[in-house]
Amino acid sequence: MVLLETLSLRHEYDGRPVLIDVNLRINSGEVFALIGPTGAGKTTLLRLLDLLETPTFGNIHFNGVDVTNSSRQRAETRRRMSFVQQRPIVFTMSVYDNVSCGLRWRREKNETIRKKVDNALELVNLADYRNRNAKKLSGGETQRVAIARALVTEPELLFLDEPTANLDPVSTAKVEEVLARVIRERKATIMMATHNMSQGQRIADRIGVLIGGKVLQIGSPNDIFCLPTNMEVAEFVGVENILKGTIINKDDNLVTIQVNSSTVQAISDYEKGEAVYALIRPEDVIFTLAKNKTSARNVFEGKITKIASVGPLVRIEVDCGFPLLGVITKRSAEELGLKVGGRIRANSKATAVHVIKRWA
């Protein structure tokens, strides 16, 4: 069931468009991640959906009811939502009192407050922190207090704005553990804005890519990261081999794409003569030295132009008549004895090449 829907949502600041024709459907019980570069409009969209601001144009429906403009409906609907900001504010009081404040404002009974706060603190692994001064907590602990405070009112929809943006890796892992537990135990509906793409992959059921104020693609994590539908999304999610070419042959769904003086084979529904981009993720490129027998349709020989270590991995750039980037482990690079200027073979299966239409 659709819980939240936007229809042609547009928002402007001083006449400058920040969001353009945003159409979203968030289903009850799903986790939806909104990814995009800084300044894309992610926080603005969350604020509109949480009814903190009114859109310039378009409509917002919550549970089938248009809540765009009615002050009464907006107020009633906001009580059914919670918002965790990127930099949450905690009050100079105990963790328990911070988490309970929303319930006290709603005039809940003391016994009800105690039970709900205890449950929320247990959920975020802060039960032993109830009497601590919230102002003296670490960044990760503060974020968990904010999540508990948002959950204690039992919202139908939880918004998270960059929930781990300012945290170290250990604190990030703890917050993600809490979110996984919330999703598992509360069956919560969550909409999360994040620039951490791997976080979106780990947590979300669906992902929307927001670039330049427009939602360019919505789909499963696999769709977004392996099957981008346009250049902007492909570049943003890290498909670094974007090869410009034209389909010169088609045999069933196996197409041959002319890329400079070389050809690339892929699986595609596009027809002969179509101008396309062939997308190959670096991790789908396999390097060998010898002319080993392989089932890969694409075998390119070229000269290594660059080698760069990135943590436990090594990025290899090869001139195959077109630039091709691959990623291998340091151990594999050492075993192959790779060096700049050396010759190498780069292999890629046809099924690992994603083809999108090329627009002028």
The 10s digit of each residue's pLDDT in 143-177 is: 999 999 999 999 999 999 998 888 888 888 888 88
pLDDT of residue 165: 84
pLDDT of residue 200: 86
pLDDT of residue 166: 80
Pairing state between β 157-161 and 190-194? parallel
Which residues touch 200 (CB under 8 Å, ≥6 apart)? 33, 35, 192, 194, 207, 221
Burial 260-290 (b: 16+ CB within 10 A, else e): eebbbbbbbebeeebebbbbbbbebbbbeee
The 10s digit of each residue's pLDDT in 312-360 is: 899 999 999 899 999 999 999 888 898 999 999 999 999 999 999 987 5
Largest alpha-carbon pair distance within the chain? 76
Question: What angle separates helix 139-151 from helix 95-105, to the nearest 10 degrees?
Answer: 30
pLDDT of residue 290: 76
The 10s digit of each residue's pLDDT in 187-225 is: 889 999 998 888 888 889 999 999 999 999 999 999 998
Q: Centre a 10 Å sphere on the Cβ of residue 357 and count the other Cβ atoms it contains.
A: 12
Confirm if 243 and 255 have CB atoms less than 8 A apart: no
* Residue range 112-131: mean pLDDT, rounded: 91
Burial label for 316, CB within 10 Å (0-12, 13-18, 19+), is: buried
Task: Please state, rounded to an integer, the average pLDDT across all residues of the chain.
Answer: 91
Nearest to 239 by CA among 330, 357, 353: 353
* Residue range 69-85: mean pLDDT, rounded: 92
- Of residues 291 and 254, more confidently modeled: 254
pLDDT of residue 323: 93
Nearest to 279 by CA among 225, 211, 220: 225
pLDDT of residue 43: 93
User: How far, CA to CA in Å, does 121 sit from each of 55, 142, 262, 270?
Assistant: 35, 12, 60, 54
pLDDT of residue 207: 96
pLDDT of residue 360: 54
* Residue range 50-60: mean pLDDT, rounded: 95
Share of the chain above pLDDT 90, in %: 69
Confirm if 237 and 225 have CB atoms less than 8 A apart: yes
pLDDT of residue 270: 92
| pLDDT-based confidence at residue 81 (cuts at 50, 70, 90) | very high
